Amino acid sequence: MVPPEFTRNSLLVERLIMIIAFLGFLLILYKTLYPFDFLFSETYNKLGYRSLLLGWGETNTLDVQGNLLLFIPLGFGLTGYLMQTMRLPKRYSFSVIIIISFLLSYTIEVLQVFQPSRFPSMGDVFSNSVGGLLGFLLFRLWERRVKVFDNLLLFVGKNLWLCFFGYALFALLVSISFQWYSGLSNWNKTFPLILGNERTGDRPWEGCIFELHIADKALSESEMASVFSEKNSFALIKDYLLASYQLSALGNYRDKKGVLPDLVWTGKTHDVQQSEGVFLSHNNWLETVVSAESLTQRIVETSQFTLGISLATRNTSQTGPARIISLSEDTGCRNFTLAQLKTDLIFRLRTPLTGRNGTHPELIVPEVFSSTNLHNLVITYNGSVLHLYIDGVLNPNKLELTPGGISLRYLFHPDRYHLVCYKIIYYLIIFAPLSMLYSITVKSISGRYVIKKFIICGAIILSSFIVEAILMSLRGRGLRLENLMIGIIILAGPMVLKLLLPKKITENERKIN
């Protein structure tokens, strides 16, 4: 007689494998075909049957890595379905995986011919096929350890309190690590503040800057509304201001707060145009006479800042990106940089997560510099999320720095950061182990089913609140209901799945017994 525990676990594993295959398929479609902007008739009229012929295309190491990773979940899940559910021999399963991976990838690449923003390539087809093969090999390695997994579940069932304590410690360490990775502890205190260029002089920006303010706190939405509604706006937050420069006429410019050194002209000072605000170009820019150490130190202590700047570009096609304001050493090392790339705004922020140049990832906001009009920009960072306000309006583009976001950068295009996906990754890391513990606990609690259900529902809601409270205290933000809902859904998911499929499990157990 086969123990019921092993039967349930095997059936659960089968369902998880099918879910992995299905989610892997959806991930492939989303990654390779988004934003689904097909031009079938127009492209076919130009190419005809040649749309089926794919060139080798240009590729690099990053593309190959992304293609390999993208097809691994599908290969893993399909192998499990073929070998465990359909009982196909491994040699036939191997062939089916290769054929499916190749045909699916080739179909997708042909569809990309009809997308203006995509670049189809036979190189992608072959690297995707290898990714499916890797998924097959990973399943074969994992399959040999299924008994270890079953024994682990039996151990958890007998040592629930020890496992809950271990989980609590794990969740706390992950949350603390999450905060450290998105903090500003790695900022360099020797960098000067520069307006209109880099110290190297090879990233000039052409335009006018009228005023600049920097605070060591991320302003709330209500504080931001007050700032934009008042004429002398940043005087309302004078307790947090680290620097305040009013730029006009010709000369050097003193920080009104007396914290930072003066901004002085670099380059051909006789070419400086006198006007309201200061005109910056490839011939002249502003730089503090010494490093902005005091500003850097204060921001590092809080891991928050607000940057306010009034400006107008003179050229909507500048590249480089052209540096508007930068706290940096050179073109490859910075604390932060606000820049222009044609009509787009670029903001780079150095953290342990984004690296010394702040480019992985960076915030890209389209069409900010589509005209030469004056704009009042305010950028805030609260320790994890970078927001941009343009003329008093919160821009929907934001940069949320999470470990999940960086780990998935190989799967998504560098200028698109799917923040909801990254948030779900983090909550899966936190809640998936706890969800398994709760599922096992339900079986071990004696008593009426209604009482068990009440206890477990209360535990799920309480756990989600506790994790959200930890994040609130670590990141200094308010309660977010969407985070609570994500946690509750992840915790309740396995138990809901079990309720949806109780009869089939029972029938299979009876047949085996």
Q: What is the DSSP string of 298-343?
A: HHHHHT-EEEEEEEEES-TT--SPEEEEEEEEETTEEEEEEEEETT
CA distance 81 to 508: 18
Q: How far is CA 386 from the centre of its chain?
A: 12
Q: How far is CA 91 from the centre of its chain?
A: 39
Buried b (16+ CB within 10 A) or exposed e, 440-454: ebbeeeeeeeeebee
Which distant-in-sequence residues (6+ apart) come within 8 Å of 316 by Cβ? 342, 343, 369, 370, 371, 372
Q: Are 444 and 456 in contact (CB under 8 A)?
A: no
CA distance 494 to 439: 7
CA angle 43, 44, 50 (to 5 degrees): 105
Mean pLDDT per block of 10 residues along the chain (513 residues) reads 48 74 82 69 59 62 73 89 85 90 88 73 86 89 63 61 67 65 87 94 93 88 74 68 83 84 79 69 90 92 91 93 94 94 94 82 90 93 88 86 52 46 66 70 62 71 75 62 75 62 46 47
CA distance 501 to 398: 41
Q: 369, 402, 435 — which closes off a domain?
A: 402
pLDDT for res 207: 93
Same structural domain, 150 and 210: no
Is residue 411 situated within a structural domain? no
Q: What's the farthest any 2 CA atoms get from each other in the chain?
A: 94
> Where residue 215 sits, what CATH number does that domain have?
2.60.120
pLDDT for res 510: 47
CA distance 382 to 217: 7
Same structural domain, 389 and 442: no
**DSSP-based three-state secondary structure for 229:** helix
Range of the structural domain that residue 44 is part of: 1-155
Is residue 214 situated within a structural domain? yes
Give all strands (DSSP E) within 374-513, no chain letters: 375-381, 385-390, 393-394, 399-400
- Give alpha helix (H) positions in 215-305: 221-229, 293-302
Same structural domain, 218 and 179: no
Same structural domain, 14 and 73: yes
Q: Which string of DSSP letters, residue by residue, matches 346-372?
A: EEEE-BTTTBTTT-SS-EEETTTTSS-
Which residue from 413, 445, 331 is spatially nearest to 66, judged by alpha carbons? 413
Helix axes 160-182, 146-158, angle to 10 degrees: 110
Which class for 134: exposed (0-12), middle (13-18), buried (19 or more C-beta within 10 A)? middle
Q: 372, 402, 432 — which closes off a domain?
A: 402
Tokens linked to 473: 């205290």
**342 CB neighbour count, 10 Å cutoff:** 15
Same structural domain, 235 and 113: no
Is residue 374 situated within a structural domain? yes
CA distance 60 to 263: 42
Same structural domain, 240 and 253: yes
Same structural domain, 18 and 73: yes
Is residue 27 situated within a structural domain? yes
Tokens linked to 385: 């999320």
Same structural domain, 144 and 207: no
Q: 355, 377, 402 — which closes off a domain?
A: 402
pLDDT for res 347: 96
Q: Which string of DSSP letters, residue by residue, matches 158-225?
A: H-HHHHHHHHHHHHHHHHHHHHHHHS-TT--TTPPEEESS-TTS-S---EEEEEEEEESSPPPHHHHH
CA distance 242 to 239: 9
Same structural domain, 135 and 164: no
Question: Residue 185: what are its φ and ψ, rounded to 5°?
Answer: -65, -20
Which distant-in-sequence residues (6+ apart) come within 8 Å of 408 by Cβ? 418, 421, 422, 425
Question: Residue 247: what are its φ and ψ, rounded to 5°?
Answer: -110, 120
Same structural domain, 344 and 370: yes
Our count of domains for the chain comes to 3
Is residue 409 situated within a structural domain? no
**DSSP-based three-state secondary structure for 252:** coil
Same structural domain, 347 and 486: no
CA distance 83 to 334: 52
- Helix (H) or strand (E) run with residue 391 in it: none
Tokens linked to 111: 């569809």
Listing from the earlier edge strand, what are the strands of the sheet with 333-341? 263-267, 284-288, 193-195, 322-330, 333-341, 344-349, 363-365
Is residue 324 situated within a structural domain? yes
Pairing label, strands 322-330, 193-195: antiparallel
Same structural domain, 205 and 300: yes
Is residue 410 situated within a structural domain? no
pLDDT for res 100: 92
Q: Which string of DSSP letters, residue by residue, matches 478-493?
A: ---HHHHHHHHHHHHH
CA distance 340 to 367: 10
